[in-house]
Each structure stands twice: as structure tokens, then as C-alpha cells.
């Protein structure tokens, strides 16, 4: 997936992107060195993302790598050579920057990406061989809570019925993000992987809530 998304022309952007020890999984943090001078966790942040700084650097990168700007500056050389590969590569770069920006803004996708750059499969249910009883019991309790919440959302007939579910879901997400922040700071990737699995369930509930609220909103 990451190989397919990142097809950058050689240059400063590509060298920054592949600056990690695992070139097959590029670091999105490396695309924004002004926002993340320390890179990804554990040295850089997971939770405390400076959204305003990130947006500014994103806009600057898009300006520098926008296809129209690069096409105009290299059109003469391309016409002489009879090729338009420059436009294609800059368009890819612009799209890749957008993917990186959106990923870093989202807590779940950001955590999955951090794990992927460290060799953990972000889509795996569990990246450890630990099968301790407490972990199994915690997972069972969490899955039961998720199932009950999904059923309550499905059965709701008014938006008012979803208020408490919204609050409880937001609290669950906040707690998991805090726990992930601590795990990444401690460089405990096994724990972070388990937490990402949990966060993915509650992220799904958040999406289900938003869809249900859209259905229940009175039509104008």
C-alpha cells in the first residue's frame, strides 16, 4: 500500500520521506520537518500535534509541489524533450502530501502509521504472542461494550437518545488517545498495538454515530 502511494521524483521531498530506517514504509512525519523537528515518537509527539503549524507547512509544501507551478517552470524543457513526466511526478507528490497531512491529523490513522513505520502491522488484531488471562478478559469486556453500543445506536429513533452515547464514546476515545500517547513516549509498541485495535473499534462507533445522526436530523 505504502509503495503504491509514494511515487516521488528524486529530490529533497523524496529524501526526507524515506529518511527512516525502513525505506519500504516512509515516515509522514519526515515530510514536515518544521512542524516535527524531532520526527515521530518516541522523540516526537503523538497526541500533541500542532495543527496550526502543520497546516501552514502543508500549504507551503502544496504550493512548492503543485503541478501547475512545476509545469510552468519546466514546460520549455519538457517540450524540447517531448515528455510530460514532470507534471505526473509533481501531481503524485502533491497527492502524497495530502495523504500524509490527513493521516497526521487523525489519531487512529496517525497511530497506525507510526506502528507501520516501526515494522508493526497496523491492521493486525494483535502484534504480540501474549495470551495472558487479564488481556483476554479486557478484550472480551471491550468487545461486549462495543456490541452493546452499536445495538443502542441502531435502535435509536431520536437524536436525543444518542447524547449519552456520544459523550461516552468521546470519553473512550480520549482515554485511548492518552494511553497511546504514554505508550509511544515509552516506546512500548506492543502495548500501542493493542490500544490501536481498541481505538479502531471506537472510531467505527464514532462513524456509526455520525451516520445515524444524519439519518435522524429533520429534513429541511
Residue 202, pLDDT above cutoff 90: yes
pLDDT (mean) for 31-35? 96
What CATH architecture applies to the domain 126-219? Answer: Up-down Bundle (1.20)
Average pLDDT of span 165-186: 96
- Residue 11 carries which DSSP code? S
CA angle, residues 123, 146, 112, in degrees to nearest 5: 25
Inform me whether the pLDDT recorded for 162 exceeds 70.
Answer: yes
Residues 6+ apart with CB under 8 A from 89: 7, 8, 9
* Residue closest to 187 by CA, chosen among 121, 126, 114: 114
The predicted model scores a pTM of 0.74
* Long-range Cβ contacts of 163-168 (<8 Å, 24+ apart): 165/209, 166/209
pLDDT at residue number 211? 93
CA distance 144 to 201: 11
Calpha distance 25→113 (Å, rounded): 9
Q: Which residue has the higher pLDDT, 67 or 81?
A: 67
What is the predicted pLDDT for the residue at 78?
Answer: 47
More reliable by pLDDT, 18 or 144: 144
Domain chopping of the chain, boundaries: 26-65+89-105, 126-219
Q: What pLDDT, on the 0 to 100 scale, is given for residue 134?
A: 54
pLDDT at 33: 96
**Is it true that domain 26-65+89-105 has CATH number 1.20.1050.10?**
no
Query: CB within 8 A of 148, min separation 6: which ones?
Result: none
Contacts of 113 (CB under 8 A, 6+ apart): 28, 103, 104, 122
Q: Name, in order, each residue with C-beta under 8 angstroms of 17's C-beta and a sequence gap of 6 or more.
A: 6, 8, 26, 27, 30, 31, 96
Amino acid at each position: 500500500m505504502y509503495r503504491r502511494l509514494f511515487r516521488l521524483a528524486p529530490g529533497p521531498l523524496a529524501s526526507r520521506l524515506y529518511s527512516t530506517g525502513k525505506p519500504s514504509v516512509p515516515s509522514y512525519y519526515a515530510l514536515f520537518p518544521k512542524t516535527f523537528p524531532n520526527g515521530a515518537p518516541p522523540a516526537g509527539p503523538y497526541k500533541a500535534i500542532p495543527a496550526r503549524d502543520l497546516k501552514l507547512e502543508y500549504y507551503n509544501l502544496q504550493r512548492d509541489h503543485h503541478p501547475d507551478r512545476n509545469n510552468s517552470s519546466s514546460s520549455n524543457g519538457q517540450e524540447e524533450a517531448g515528455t510530460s513526466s514532470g507534471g505526473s511526478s509533481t501531481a503524485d507528490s502533491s497527492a502524497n502530501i495530502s495523504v500524509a497531512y490527513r493521516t497526521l491529523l487523525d489519531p487512529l490513522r496517525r497511530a497506525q502509521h507510526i506502528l507501520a513505520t516501526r515494522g508493526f502491522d497496523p491492521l493486525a488484531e494483535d502484534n504480540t504472542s501474549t495470551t495472558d488471562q487479564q488481556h483476554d478478559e479486557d478484550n472480551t469486556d471491550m468487545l461486549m461494550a462495543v456490541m452493546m453500543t452499536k445495538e443502542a445506536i441502531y435502535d435509536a429513533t431520536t437524536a436525543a437518545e444518542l447524547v449519552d452515547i456520544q459523550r461516552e464514546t468521546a470519553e473512550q476515545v480520549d482515554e485511548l488517545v492518552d494511553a497511546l500517547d504514554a505508550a509511544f513516549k515509552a516506546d512500548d509498541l506492543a502495548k500501542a498495538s493493542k490500544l490501536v485495535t481498541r481505538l479502531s473499534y471506537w472510531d467505527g462507533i464514532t462513524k456509526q454515530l455520525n451516520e445515524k445522526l444524519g439519518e435522524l436530523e429533520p429534513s429541511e
